[in-house]
A and B are shown apart, each in its own frame.
Chain A
Amino acid sequence: MSLVAAHPKHTSKGGAQADGFSTKSRLKGVKVTGPPDAGAFRERPAKPTSFRKFYERGDFPIALEHDTKGNKIAWKVEIEKLDYHHYLPLFFDGLCETTHPYEFFARQGVHDMLEHGGPKILPVIPQLIIPIKNALSTRNRKVICTTLKVLQHLVVSADMVGEALVPYYRQILPILNIFKNHNLNSGDGIDYSQQKRENIGDLIQETLEAFERHGGEDAFINIKYMVPTYESCMLN
């Protein structure tokens, strides 16, 4: 709060404006302006990801062909033989990316690894939390959409994964709480995966319900703790 707002600002309508709590704000006829944005919804640019570095260095076992038919990645190695502790966190790290080709390869790589990982996913969960948190914290609408879909896929990707996420709700859910009521369309551009589900509010609701369904008996109360407006989809 600045106390040096000495001169009331003049608006186009002729009335003077002053910051709240300043001396000038007590003058007659001065319109007191509201507080500035706290920036809860403002986008925060992501730092350069290590996914990008690895990708440009050619460290991923994927063929970098930009004219693929459909939306597939050609893997040079069988996914079953990959070291999940190394690659899965790296691909999750790429979820922050918004530009092609990084964004595509990160999203599709995560998708393939979750779809075909089975029991190898569960032990890696603790390493995925920070990349997930980073991606959500960018507050970029497209990134959040992608990450929410990944989270929905993650909880159904293998047994016990939903339960394993419960201790990390404190890291994941605050952003979901912020955007839970954003029921506006995030844009009309991208058509990722096959469905155009881009409404953040709806996606968050779906994601929380998926967490509750697959998170075991402690899931609901832990979600409720972080997202107080959430109502159970199973108890009612």
Chain B
Amino acid sequence: MSAEVSPQPKAMTRPKRWTDEVEEAYRFQIAGYRDEIEYQAFNGKVADRWPDNGYIKKLQRKDGYFYYYNRKRECEDKDVHKCKMYSY
């Protein structure tokens, strides 16, 4: 349970249009994480994913509560520009 050990990103870009990667980032960022790297460093486990398309199914927030996600796309066009794509 230490957020400090997670590697820090070097750069951040804003996506222009929706892709699977944007969907992934959107789901993590709703739950309060940057991305899967921070999630794994914080929780010490991999995120649950839908078996058919690999989208995130369930995330545990930093306060211990759970967020559940739909099988289909959740990040609407109006939310795409709010996502942050980190690179290391």
A75 to B10 CA separation, bound complex (whole angstroms): 33
A76 and B61 alpha carbons, distance in the complex (Å): 10
Residues of B within 8 A of A79 (CB): 66, 68
Alpha-carbon distance between A73 and B65 when the two chains are bound, in angstroms: 9
Contact (Cβ within 8 A) A63 B65: yes
> B49 an interface residue at 8 Å Cβ cutoff?
no
Q: How large is the interface on B (under 10, 10 to 19, 20 to 34, 35 or more residues)?
A: 10 to 19
The residue that A75 contacts in the complex, of B66, B71, B74, with Cβ under 8 A, is B66
Residues of A contacting B70 in the complex (Cβ-Cβ under 8 angstroms): 115
> Using Cβ atoms and an 8 Å threshold, which residues of chain B touch A77?
66
How many of A's residues come within 8 Å of B, CB to CB? 15
| Binary contact readout B50-88 vs A (1 if CB under 8 angstroms, 0 otherwise) | 000000011001001111101100101001000000000
* 0/1 string, A61-96, CB within 8 A of B gives 1: 001000001101111111100000000000000000
> CB of A116 within 8 A of chain B?
yes
Q: If A69-B30, A70-B30, A72-B30 touch, does A194 touch B68 (CB 8 Å cutoff)?
A: no
Residues of A within 8 A of B (CB): 63, 69-70, 72-79, 112, 115-116, 194
| B residues adjacent to A (C-beta < 8 A) | 30, 57-58, 61, 64-68, 70-71, 74, 76, 79
